[in-house]
Homo-oligomer: A and B are copies of this chain.
Amino acid sequence: MEEKGVHRGGENNNQEQENQSDTSHNRSPLLSNPWKPCRRHHAVVKGWLLKLRCCLVTVCGIEWYGYAALGILTAVLSFLMDFSVAKLLRAHRWLYTMLEGNILLQFFSWTLYPACLCAVSSSFSHNICPFSTGSGIPEVRAMLAGIEMPHYLSLTHLFTKFLGLICTLAAGSTVFLGKVGPFVHLSTMVGAYLGNLCTLIQDKKKENAVGEMLVVAAAVGVASCFGAPIGGVLFSVEVMSSHFALRHYCPGFFSAACGALTFRLLAVWGGDGETLQALFKTSFPTALPFYPLEILLFAFLGLLCGAVSCCYLFCHRWILRFTKTNPFFIKMLTTEKGLYSAMVAFFLASLTFPHFAGQYMASKNTMKELLTSFLDSRQWSSQSHNASEQLEQPSLEWTSSGIHVCLSLVFFLLMKMWMLVLACTLPLPAGYFMPVFVYGAALGRLVGEGAVYLSPTGVASGPQWVPVNPGGYALAGAAAFSGAVTHTLSPVLVAIELTGQFSHAVPILVATLLANAVARSGHRPSFYDALSISKRLPHLPSLKKACPQLPSTPVGQVVVKSVLLQKAAGPLEVERAVKTSTETQIPVVDTSAHSQGFTFNSRLRGDRRKWGKEITFIICNFEHFVEKERVGWKGIVLAHICTGSFPCVSHG
């Protein structure tokens, strides 16, 4: 009101002009701000802006322009990143080939280049924005659940993460890290800014606009990263939330389609292809993509991927615990991040040096080339016989070492397993989806090449023999393994969209379902859940999965309670609450945003005898979310009942 008053008093001369253009819009914060100098010009500009807004609003709501802008901006960021990374990788390769003949110099160029990049990335993020390390998906998930983390959406953070990620990716396939996770985080930051901008332009409740934009942004991140709109939206649905409101469906797809379209059009205009096509376009034979009974082999591949993913997740959880408990690691990771990153990168690079062990694991290939080589529909073992034909194929790296491709793949898989786990400890912005995807492709390729080795002429289909296509197995393995690690099914669609290959949809889906079944069977946390647990971020939906011993409570028994307990309450308040309440369950509300969910329980555990009755404390971390929706803490309880994973810690 006051602002409006100032506006009226100070701008009498252009009051009429503005009234003519649009009277109903002058409450908007952006446009009602009195700009002091050059009032006449500003009034003209303001009038034009108002007219422009009227024109825009007649077509659709302002937020839709925001969604489109979000998709386009994220895609441009993604394209710029790919472009810079490609340049840096080419520079490394050029340096390496220029030093041909001098193995020592080659070794140093091979190892010091990624080591320096990792050190730069690590110190850069450590010094400018210490929160920018890691994947970012657990943080985005917590934000979407309603925890307010304003410093996670700052502009500084955006630039730090962007530049840090370029350095990480430029370190190449030796460090073997991807870009999906940080990109989801980047697009969330862009989304938060655009959401604020939309709120400024529009007269809308702020919380909703920004909140919706964040949900959409999480979907756009994956879509722009791969040019995979459908898989992107579904991946974000599966990873981010326990239930999905359909009103976010359309904005999500719209923004993701804008992002994917821009990403692919940029690739076309950049001369990467003649038309919009998949990032890793494959050319599988379409007439008879696979023999029906090969489904069984795909199912076996799914089970294998599930088993290997369990092993990988176990190692990952172990190293997360180890880095939190080992004094040396704690010291290194808190004070000497740059040095630690450089050391690990140097170690990894020296192992993958092409004149050393690297020759057996095609370490000269970048991650993109590795994936392309795995997805190749031609059989490597038959290629090795007439290798002279195509010298430019990245898949020939695999046959050049002289040992059988299957042995080469087994060596690659064994080495990359622990190297990948070690790389996860690096304190720099990095994604973990793509490495897992490539690893799965290698696993699938191994099974495919194994099938070729056992039956070189292919499978009998009526009179003729159909050759086995190992590329299909690689595709199924990639989807199955990444699905098993993240406990999601959407990698099926990501894989299909990445390759544009739909003929194998059913076997890929079967393999991914079975891999998921194996991975989820032990009720162990998924990759992102493990990260959330390690970072002590709340993650309601999957808590039940991580700690199945926590009992679930019917909500009806909780809703009727009235005694609330603050999380920060001292022993006295706890005692009073227990004595006041006639119920056996007390909800505990966390009012400090960055909750450390379950330390509270351990504090109470010692005292449980003295109350003389069996009390259940229900930890409810989402006060902020709840305030937004004006529901009270009961709301979140009810909203989350549909996930069947309401966290309630029993002290009985």
Q: Which residues of A contact B (CB under 8 A)?
A: 60, 229-230, 237-238, 241-247, 249-250, 253-254, 257, 260-261, 264-265, 268, 274-278, 283, 286, 288-292, 295, 461-462, 489, 492-493, 496-497, 500-503, 505-507, 509-510, 513, 516-517, 520-521, 541, 554-557, 559, 629-632, 634-635, 638-639, 641-645
Contacts and interface: CB of A to CB of B under 8 A. Distances in A.
A550 to B, nearest CB: 16
Given A230-B492, A503-B277, A509 B249 contact: no
Contacts of A288: 274-275
A401 B484 CA distance: 56
A239 to B, nearest CB: 10
A253 B555 contact: no
B492 A497 contact: no
Given A247-B642, A247-B643, A634-B638, 4 more contacts: A244-B244, A247-B645, A264-B506, A555-B631
Nearest to A507: B276
B257 A509 contact: yes
B242 A238 contact: no
Specify which of A244, A290, A644 lies most central, judged by the most chain B CB atoms within 10 Å of its CB: A244
A461 B634 contact: no
Contacts of A249: 238, 489
Contacts of A253: 489, 509, 513
Contacts of A629: 555-556, 641
Contacts of A257: 506, 509-510, 513
* Chain copies in complex: 2
Contacts of A230: 492-493, 505, 509
Given A245-B642, A246-B238, A489-B253, A291 B264 contact: no
A497 B507 CA distance: 13
A244 B243 contact: yes
Contacts of A461: 274-275
Contacts of A229: 505-506, 509
A268 B292 CA distance: 8
B502 A644 contact: no
B559 A247 contact: no
A486 to B, nearest CB: 13
A501 B631 CA distance: 46
Nearest to A503: B500
Contacts of A630: 554-557
A643 to B, nearest CB: 6
Contact of A559 (B254, B506, B632): B632
B642 A631 contact: no
Contact of A241 (B246, B639, B644): B246
Contacts of A462: 274
A555 B631 CA distance: 6
B244 A295 contact: no
Contacts of A277: 289, 503
A242 B639 CA distance: 13
Contacts of A517: 60
A500 B521 CA distance: 32
A62 B502 CA distance: 32
A275 B250 contact: no
Given A502-B497, A641-B631, A275 B247 contact: no
A244 B246 contact: yes
A643 B638 CA distance: 14
A289 B273 CA distance: 12
Contact of A556 (B506, B631, B638): B631
> Which 5 residue pairs of A and B lie closest in terms of their CB atoms, listed nearest first?
A556-B630, A638-B638, A502-B502, A245-B642, A243-B245
A418 to B, nearest CB: 30
Contacts of A516: 250
Q: Looking at A253, A276, A289, A516, which has the most chain B CB atoms within 10 Å of its CB? A: A276
Nearest to A260: B506
Nearest to A274: B288
A90 to B, nearest CB: 25
Nearest to A462: B274
